[in-house]
Structure 1
């Protein structure tokens, strides 16, 4: 006790400790029964909904219909690519999911290229940033947007849900605040205006929890039944289907776990991105996986699983790189890269 006081310490009574713990518990900062009950209540409340409320309206984009429409038009006007001449030829699109204000050029080139599309169904592949279980997370909820409701193809989702596999997450809670699909739905709804289409929303989890066992063979062993059903949906002649993947690429710098600023990793991360993109546009699955395994997710490519999935379900098609960019965040000395890629049928 004498030594403690000599070093400037103080004695803390049990009452004070209990008061601090009670305050932490009050704000759900302890994994207590109270915390677990609140967590369960929040999860069940979302699961029971039939419509997914927009999570980022009023924050990342305007909550009012007219203002949002104007903002999306402003973004599309920045494009330096032409809209496809044949609306029916598009089969897939890769677009960013980074903040709209940051990724304007990527979004503009992606969705200007796509334009109004003929598909009546869109398979959405996003990144499940909050996923803790499974490789794929489904939801049958319709998506609320300031532009109107976007319906989910519930029949297609049920087919995917029937696949009894550990690859499928047990519930749809990760969709609650996820932005990677929400941003894509805005552009799709804006492009289609009053024309009807449905979506099949799928979030993809990380493959890199065990990097040493992460390769294409292991991925297919886990995911093939799910991928097979996605191929069936894509090949359905009665329901023309488009695939849209909302992904970003490398995440580098201290904000993302590196011990050096992004500037020191920039060149090698961009080389990695380019290698993945070159394999992607060629639909070269083996080259895509070889590059990924080579670096063992060193650059935190959050869209890797979604892109791996896209590569496995696309039929022979032509890929075109529409945009690539790396955005730097000076306060954190970190950076994120993103891209736009279009695929058309041969």
Structure 2
């Protein structure tokens, strides 16, 4: 790196961690262009905060000197920038080449790879099936899929978590058991959170989702007709599907439940618009692209002649130092969090998309509800149908509390 260069950190995730008794700031790429997680000593935070594209090495030195009265060696700044660049964390030619290569491989591949197999869940089908079987076992699970509830009201939609299976597996099972026993759909439209964000509100893909239990096929005809009716480029952000887990985990569960039982297809829809609306002080439907897509979805379902159900892969709150809060979550705060979540879920089970959005917006999304877009979309797609809360849970780590639920409609 030359000293005239102005390093710019990419839009990556930053969060505090402790490793071997020392606190660091961890950097991770939610877009998945690098698998590295970089641990920065807190002493370097001030320097990296100036990697904003507006400071060269000399001006970074001057800024640190003014703030700390310390002269930082230029070579140290350059080496830090070079290390971050080598791992794909800085904007510039090296990252552009990395992104072009990764994107090119994905676009040329006929199937969407199982990005999280071997990490978030076993890559071996037998081991994966055994793990998923365990989520249904009592006392934490709902019991096996045995047809006992098959005569109850049919299920037409499900909100399920997208948290790691090892932390939220039984909560998935509480929702998916009802889906397995009482849903007769042969097409599942899956709305997922796009954690990396998108410039477009929706992203479709024609690619089947690979899983260790066999591929989850896409209803390509449905996808094409939906995209044609939507009046917008629904594939412009298709690359967001590459590593996003919110739909992948639902595809795994659907294969687990229906492979060898009946043929089902999916329509993968990544969503990213509700937080953007909240930031602008608008309603989601004020974006004409969102309104057109929902109209197109309803028309496509009606014209398809298929039995269609909706699934939202959506978690709820994200609270604690891992997400930027100053203090760990105390038992009292966890109880207050549960109360706020359950009040919000009442708007969900009422099928009221506008009330759900208003509840989250009331405090500016202080709880960081990452499932805002897919849940809102599902509630609109189901036309206000009421639902039943089957399971609510929180992860137990006070540094990193994530809440999630299964709701059946």
Shift in CA distance, 95/256, structure 1 to aligned 2, threshold 3 Å? same
1:296 aligns with 2:357: no
Output the CA distance in 1 between the equivalents of 2:197 and 2:70: 45
Whether the 8 Å CA contact 1:53–1:144 is kept in 2: the answer is: yes
Shift in CA distance, 254/53, structure 1 to aligned 2, threshold 3 Å? same
Aligned to 1:92: 157
* Alignment counterpart, residue 43 of structure 1, candidates 99, 103, 126: 103
Aligned to 1:282: 350
Give the aligned length: 333
Instruction: With a CA cutoff of 8 Å and minimum separation of 6, indicate the structure with the bigger relative contact order.
Output: 1
**Structure 1 stretches lacking a partner, 5+ long:** none
Output the CA distance in 2 between the equivalents of 1:274 and 1:280: 10
SS in 2 for 1:295: coil
1:152 aligns with 2:226: no
Output the CA distance in 2 between the equivalents of 1:80 and 1:107: 10
Q: CA deviation at 1:143?
A: 0.9
Q: CA deviation at 1:251?
A: 0.6
Q: CA deviation at 1:107?
A: 1.1
RMSD over aligned Cα, in angstroms? 2.6
Alignment of 1:127-276 (within 5 A): 127-162=193-228, 163-165=230-232, 168=234, 170-194=236-260, 195-209=262-276, 211-216=278-283, 218-219=285-286, 221-236=288-303, 238-263=305-330, 265-276=333-344
Whether the 8 Å CA contact 1:252–1:265 is kept in 2: the answer is: no
| 1:13-32 per-position Cα deviation (integer Å, ceiling 9, x unaligned) | 6xx87666555544434322
Output the CA distance in 2 between the equivalents of 1:91 and 1:8: 63
Give the alignment's TM-score, normalised by structure 1. Answer: 0.87
Output the CA distance in 2 between the equivalents of 1:59 and 1:229: 36
**Structure 2 stretches lacking a partner, 5+ long:** 1-64
* Alignment counterpart, residue 126 of structure 2, candidates 66, 74, 87: 66
Output the CA distance in 1 between the equivalents of 2:129 and 2:243: 22
Shift in CA distance, 73/276, structure 1 to aligned 2, threshold 3 Å? same
Whether the 8 Å CA contact 1:151–1:198 is kept in 2: the answer is: yes
Output the CA distance in 1 between the equivalents of 2:347 and 2:394: 19
Output the CA distance in 2 between the equivalents of 1:10 and 1:290: 48
Output the CA distance in 2 between the equivalents of 1:184 and 1:301: 19
Aligned to 1:53: 113
Give the alignment's TM-score, normalised by structure 2. Answer: 0.74
